Amino acid sequence: MREFSIVEKTKALITKETLVEDFKRLGIQKGMTLIVHSSLSSIGWVCGGAVTVVQALMETVTESGTIVMPTQTTYNSEPSYWQHPPVPEEWWEGIRTHMPAYEPEITPTRGMGAIVETFRTFPSVIRSAHPMYSFAAWGRHKEEIINNHSIDYGFGEQSPLARIYDLDGHVLLLGVGYDSNTSMHLAEFRSAKAKTFRQGAAMLENGKRVWKTFIDIETDADRFLEIGAAFENVHHIAKGKVGNAECVLLKQRELVDFTLEWLERNG
């Protein structure tokens, strides 16, 4: 039924060629370092679905640039913190014992969408080793961005987000809002007001499955919509449509710096 609704809302056939035109019109260029947050359904009915979207992004950016997507597996985490939904306390130890270890090649994403789940399986795409907050990348700077992703502070200075910052990369919000903008977590990490806690996940260590605990910071994406609106009041961004999707293209470094300043002022 949902697909019927998407077809009805799509005024003209969306193909790889029309998507490439839309990406270029928005301002995406060959050679860019680009982190993408996306919703396939927001684009409309795409001929070929998520595969077509990934191919169009790759054709636009080319291998002289780099595409990055968050490939999070937040179900692989300390069960006592779960809220959506919570699970009975008597299950917690069993989950810690039996949750399959994170493996970059096979572990599926959760809540990231069809475009991300498709992208991570493409040839020449590599994925970082963090058991909860992994990222996948393709193109020129993929090794630099993905390698050495620290298990502690998964959105911090030893994360793909910080490497995108170093490369002065861009963020594409493809049919999603600032509350999906992972880069803003880097600002949370850099804030003097960041609060730490112990997290846990199943992973492989020397070929053996272990339940590993590590240090993380408390994050709050609910405030990102307010911060994003304030950011747009003072910084240039590009807005346009890709298919039916309302899109935003912006410089990641400017957003991270602005978010950090906002957090320091407002807590």
Strand, coil or helix: what is 52? helix
pLDDT at 11: 85
pLDDT above 90 as % of the chain: 94
pLDDT at 1: 42
Q: How confident is the model over 92-120, as a mean pLDDT?
A: 97
Determine the Cα–Cα distance for residues 128 and 133; give it in Å rounded to an integer.
9
Domain that includes residue 252, residue range: 2-266
Q: What digits encode the pLDDT tens for the residues 109-132?
A: 999 999 999 999 999 999 999 999
**In the predicted model, is pLDDT for residue 95 greater than 90?**
yes
Name the domain count of the chain.
1
Q: What digits encode the pLDDT tens for the residues 171-204?
A: 999 999 999 999 999 999 999 999 999 999 999 9
Determine the Cα–Cα distance for residues 239 and 5; give it in Å rounded to an integer.
25
Q: How confident is the model over 250-260, as a mean pLDDT?
A: 98
